[in-house]
Amino acid sequence: MHLIDELRWRGMIQDIMPGTEDQLKKEMTTAYIGFDPTADSLHIGSLVPILLLVHLQKAGHKPIALVGGATGMIGDPSGKSQERNLLDEETLNKNVAGVKAQLEKFLDFDPSKPNAAEMANNYDWFKTISFIDFLRDTGKHITINYMMAKDSVKKRIESEVGLSYTEFAYQLMQGYDFYWLYEHKSCKLQMGGSDQWGNITTGTELIRRKVGGEAFAFTCPLIKKADGTKFGKTEQGNVWLDASKTTPYQFYQFWLNASDADAQGWIKIFTFLAKEEVYGLIAAHTADPSKRILQKRLAEEVTKFVHGADALAEAIATTEKLFANQTAPAESLSIEDLEGMDGVIKFDFAADKLAEGIDIVSFLAETTIFPSKGEARKTVQGGGVSINRKKVEGIDLKIDSSLLLHNTYLLVQKGKKNYYLVKAV
């Protein structure tokens, strides 16, 4: 199946520039996507652009993953209601290194292959360009009228916050990235999220005006959850690709807990399963939603892609220990079971405090399982906390050494799916 046809049935095409499909059918095409180094790890919102690059390479084309070492110093106003805090150079360099290391996991960089992936950092070309040179050689080719017509600019100018010149110039910098890659890497295609369409087309326009070249573009839809809440967020915050920030168990649980409506769309977008298999899974799930066939396969495929088969096996093992036999007493869990729960958030707690005894509300706040005593109290009173698989019936419960499993552990459950292992030390 041709690349664009493959992406269309998966729901991964939103806007596409005329001629793009013909270009991809004509020859091996070099294409790029930019990644903003706002943190030292990407989160699952970046999985779609990563998958676009992987699909591109699988189809025989050459991907470039661009890390915005220069544009990251500015901040993209697209989809933002206010200006972001600017990062210092040390933080930015750390973030760039972290993002590059992650991207290298997903693409094939074997230099012996004609479509070997490449990494790029736009700081490498912007660091030698003076402000005057940029205005003279690039700024004169794009009019203010053209830049003002972009949705990302119009929305911010019309808002109370406004738009600084720094952010206003961002689309010109991103446009120059495309021009530089076109000139030095024969890159003819840029891809990205649909909120990037304005910035991407500034690049194709700059290439046309500066050198009379023809470049192409397409975007994918922004991922939204069926219930309207933000994709990629949990009670703990962002779902990161870095296992030290979001454990493989937590990552697996995020996908496993997808709604039926979300799972039907996400299994097309976030996996490489063939069309026939995807629709077979959807049909099997529709016949018996209680088996959660889609969610299980989705969680398996994405966790394996991001963290590998071993981490997936550990995530499944932890899930089974926590959820498979909920009626069994926590005492049936061995020390090995408890210590082997990779991904469950673990805390140390002073053994002498447990020997004296501490009220449940203070315990939950001091372990930081809850951010405050008020929230802990409210959840306990609502029946949302269990200790060692037994629901806490009231705020008068004392947590002491008599509750410890194997004289060392407490298994705390918050809500239906959040588990914590507290170790007396």
Q: Could you list the residues known to form a binding site for ATP, using ranges.
A: 233
Q: Are 265 and 221 a contacting pair, CB within 8 Å?
A: no
Q: List, as residue ranges, the binding site for L-tyrosine.
A: 32, 170, 174
Q: List, as residue ranges, the binding site.
A: 32, 170, 174, 233
DSSP state of 226: T
Cα(360)–Cα(386) distance, rounded to whole angstroms?
A: 11
Q: How far is CA 233 from the centre of its chain?
A: 9
Q: Taking each helix axis from N to C terminus, what angle separates 260-269 and 275-287, rounded to the nearest 10 degrees?
A: 170
Q: Are 405 and 331 a contacting pair, CB within 8 Å?
A: yes
- Per the DSSP assignment, residues forming a β-bridge with 385 are 414
* AA letter at 374: G
DSSP state of 85: P
H or E stretch at 192 = strand 187-193
| Beta strands 418-424; 358-359: pairing state | unpaired
CA angle 369, 225, 276 (to 5 degrees): 120
